[in-house]
Amino acid sequence: MSTISTRPIGADLPRIDGPQKVTGTATYAYEHPLTEPAYVFPLLSTVARGRVTSIDARAALALPGVLAVLTHDDPPKLADTSDAELAILQSPEIHFRGEVVGAIVAESLEIGAHAVGLVRIEQQAAEHGVVLRADDPDLLRPDGVEDAATGDVEAALRDAATSIVATYSTPIEHNNPLEPHTTVARWQDGRLRLYESTQSVHGVRDTIADLFGLAPEDVHVTAPFVGGGFGSKGVVHAPTVLSVMAARAVPGRPVKLALSRPQMFTLAGHRAPTIQRVRLGADAGGALAAISHDLWQHTSRVKQFAEQATAISRMMYAAPHRRATHRMAPLDVPAQSWMRAPGIAPGSFALECAMDELAVALGLDPIELRVRNDPPIDPDTGLPWSSRNLVACLREGAERFGWAGRSPTPRSQRDGRWLVGTGVAGAAYAPESTPGSQAQIEVLTDGRYAVRIGAMDVGTGTWTTLTQVAAEALGVAVEQVALEIGDTALPYSHVPGGSAGIGSWGSTLYGAARAFRDAHGADPQVGDEVTAGAADNPAEDAYAMYTFGAQFAEVRIDADTGEIRVPRMLGVFAGGRIVNPRTARSQLIGGMTFGLSMALFEAGVMDANVGAVVTDDLADYHVAAHADVRELEACWIDEADPHVNPMGTKGIGEIGIVGSAAAVANAVFHATGVRVRDLPITPDKVLGAD
Ligand code: MOS
């Protein structure tokens, strides 16, 4: 563990916004005090494909307190209809079950909910397809994603001393932040005011301005606190558009829409299901000769979204012969979007399970197999690593977890009726680089530095950690920094997706701090001010930059019932410099919990007849809860990476989920001898294959 530092970066600082959160005074999107808000209720399709033939809203409109009904009959005008997920109510076509086909705007929640039931929506259903198949006749290659082929994979697999072929599958998974997607909108004098639960205030501003033909400066978005997003709040979804349409229908009046939990399963994006065939070939010593990863996923008809699961197989281990392919089946399903470690979460499940299968086939320890195939340079780009400490993480983890002396034989450890096993997996995640953000620094009358940037805190601790980075960049104590984030009135900032938050915003603050000192020196006056962005980092083109990690899990499985428990998990990470050990640990164990949940519980169950996910609440779609999580430990090795950015941070928002589901699956195999290749791992699969 890192030691407590007196410097701002590295300090074990409690959350600055903690008191506001625990006293309930932190204002989330729905909670901004506004006079006489109206309430938006979406009307939704109940067939997966077809068209709306008529909407009879007369009874709803006759209800006192119903202010407006929106439908495609009188389509709210949009300036840009190129994004079909967002171009709602522009046509009667239905693209998926649960699609927005209208809305009620009402004086109260009660009136709105009642009015929804009074609307008669006639739909003509067409034949739908919602089930992913690798032999779907309409498979397509995602735009901009090329197949990769190096050497001759088929020959290398044929000639390999040992090879494995395995097909893995992962289900639809849903982002389920505690705070649902929420918009509060007011349209007044051609200007739009939004309180939005979003990961990017400027992203919302720009998207909405384009859609409604407004100047960006006429759209003001505020999001001081956000109750989680896991990627789904990184882009605008249809409910935000619907809320703005509703606000325009009742000018001057604020309208509110918070998705219900079932609506979160269709209108907030999701992770596509995947089918992944991994083939590995190695020589007798375990050196990989071939790595091949073929991927199939579904994509919606409204918007293509590539879940790039093969990306990790392109860089994780070295092999002279390599192949990666990616195909998508367009189906009548809702639009996907980002979900924590997009692509890499399901991809690492397949690759890291396959490595375990290869280790078993070789009779080699799975850690040793990974060590022997640790590439000196990035196999994908040929660039040197800015730093790569996967092996150090594996070794540190083996030591802490107690790996030494582990029997390689599956089903060899028993404790009463419990079968016990352990598993390991590697992890890697490349933090995005998002240049172009700006920050303003100004000396306030009390002598503190106002630091203004349109960043946001999705719940991870940005209020605290960005204050620390700003203090370090300015060379002052954290108490000297008054951070302002979460508003488009602040300088432009990019979405923090892809673990880019601290790296991107922090680089921006370093650039602004340097510009401030250049302009005003070490002893500035009240009102001295500078707005600037990050300096270019030429190292970004010269190095492959990744956070690495090693995941360990122990499982216990009831030999009679197949009940699965995970008494402990350990993650050891190499994420560069850690800004705040308290918030970092929280991020990492949060990611690992996500992985545990992915391994054992989460599945959007698609009903082929209904044409929709039917497990659309938190009772049927279980997300790991406290009772599921026992001993969960995350730690990190000291790592100084001089290339990544001025802070030396590499991004830790997503690495916790990478490989963690594979570690659990590998432990399940070790405990039972049953290789479950289809997530989630449920008792029936453990028993059924026995
Ligand atoms: Mo993250 S899924 O890139 O917001």
- For the stretch 125-149, pLDDT in tens is 999 999 999 999 999 999 999 999 9
CA of 340 to the centre of ligand 1 (A): 5
The full DSSP string for 297-339 is EEEESS------TTHHHHHSS--SEEEEEEEEEEES-PPP---
Element (H, E) at 369: helix 366-372
**Distance between CA 6 and CA 259 in Å, rounded?**
43
CA distance between the termini of the chain: 41
Nearest to 591 by CA among 650, 679, 499, 658: 658
How far apart CA 427 and CA 614 sit, in angstroms, is 32
Closest ligand 1 atom, residue 231 Cα = 4
Ligand 1 centroid from CA 366, angstroms: 30
Annotated active-site positions, please? 654
The residue whose CA is least distant from atom 4 of ligand 1 is 231
Burial of 521 (0-12, 13-18, 19+ CB in 10 A): exposed
CA 497 to ligand 1: nearest atom = 3
Instruction: Tell me the average pLDDT across 419-423.
Output: 98
Q: Please say whether the beta carbons of 370 and 317 come within 8 A.
A: yes
Instruction: For ligand 1, say whether the CB of 234 is within 6 Å of any of its atoms.
Output: yes
- The pLDDT of residue 238 is 98
pLDDT tens-digit map of 246-302: 999 999 999 999 999 999 999 999 999 999 999 999 999 999 999 999 999 999 999
Report pLDDT for 561: 96
- pLDDT exceeds cutoff 80 at 204: yes
Token pair 């901009």: residue: 144
CA of 36 to the centre of ligand 1 (A): 35
Q: Is the minimum distance from the CB of 454 to ligand 1 under 6 angstroms?
A: no
Say how many Å lie between the CA of residue 593 and the centre of ligand 1: 16
From residue 674, how far is each of 161, 164, 359, 559, 562 by CA, in Å? 24, 16, 15, 12, 11
Q: What pLDDT, on the 0 to 100 scale, is given for residue 147? A: 95
Residue 210 has pLDDT above 50, yes or no: yes
Candidate of 307, 340, 504 to mutate for ligand 1, largest count of ligand atoms within 8 Å of Cβ: 340
Atom of ligand 1 nearest to the CA of 498: 3
Question: pLDDT tens-digit profile of 530-586?
Answer: 999 999 999 999 999 999 999 999 999 999 999 999 999 999 999 999 999 999 999
Chain segment 482-522, per-residue pLDDT in tens: 999 999 999 999 888 888 999 999 999 999 999 999 999 99
For the chain, give the percent of residues with pLDDT over 70.
99
If you average pLDDT over every residue of the chain, what do you get?
A: 96
Report the separation in Å between the CA atom of 420 and the middle of ligand 1, taken as the mean of its atom positions.
34
Grouping H, G, I as helix, E, B as strand and the rest as coil, residue 587 is helix
pLDDT attached to residue 495: 87
**498 CB under 6 A from ligand 1?**
yes
* Ligand 1 neighbour 231 (Cβ under 6 A): yes
Instruction: Provide the pLDDT for residue 5.
Output: 45
- Contact between 569 and 551 under an 8 Å Cβ cutoff? The reply is yes
**Ligand 1 pocket check for 339: Cβ under 6 Å:** yes
Which three-class secondary structure state does DSSP give residue 283?
Answer: coil
pLDDT of residue 496: 83
Cα–Cα distance measured from residue 661 to residue 645, given in angstroms and rounded to the nearest whole number: 30
Q: How far is the CA of 271 from the centre of ligand 1 (A)?
A: 11
Closest atom of ligand 1 to CA, residue 199: 4
Mean pLDDT for 50-56 is 98
Token pair of 630 as six digits: 């026992």
pLDDT of residue 1: 36
In ligand 1, the atom with minimum distance to the C-alpha of 496 is: 4
Check residue 254 and give its pLDDT: 98
Cβ of residue 497 lying under 6 Å from some atom of ligand 1: yes
**In the predicted model, what is the mean pLDDT of residues 394-423?**
97
Does residue 18 surpass a pLDDT of 50?
A: yes
Residue 4, pLDDT above cutoff 70: no
Residue 6 has what pLDDT? 63
Q: Is the CB–ligand 1 distance for residue 338 below 6 Å?
A: yes
688 band by pLDDT with thresholds 50, 70 and 90: low
Cis, peptide link before residue 680, omega less than 30° from 0: yes
